[in-house]
Amino acid sequence: MKIWYYRNKNNGNLFNSSQELTIENFPDWTQEQIDEYEEITLYEYYGIDPNKQRIDELKKQLAETDYIVIKIYEASILGETALVEELKETYASVLEERQGWREEINRLEGTE
């Protein structure tokens, strides 16, 4: 079920609905009343920083794929060069994604 969140442009009051705020869905409202509201996103409604939310998602993805880096590192420590190269080839797309995630985290945190 989708919920729409709106904020009154004049007084900041919040309004949510299971229907989009249109004259068709709210025939008792005038177009002027509807125009007083702007749609906001869920994180704005709950006061969540969208950058922090995205950073948390990215860090979770990194944590979920840490085992790959650990496997490669362990093979490297053990001097198993062929295995290191095999693992890097096998997980190349994931390693590339991880680099992208770290770059996005740095950009969102302003530490590029």
Residues with Cβ < 8 Å from 101, sequence gap 6 or more?
58, 61, 62
- Whether the CB-CB separation of 4 and 16 falls below 8 Å is answered with yes
- The domain spans of the chain are 4-45, 50-109
Tens of pLDDT, residues 51-90: 888 888 999 999 999 999 999 999 999 999 999 999 999 9
Cα–Cα distance for residue pair 17/5, rounded to 1 Å: 7
Please indicate, yes or no, whether the overall pTM of this predicted structure exceeds 0.75: no
Q: Which run of H or of E encompasses 106?
A: helix 92-109
Tens of pLDDT, residues 14-26: 888 888 888 898 8
Cα–Cα distance for residue pair 42/57, rounded to 1 Å: 16
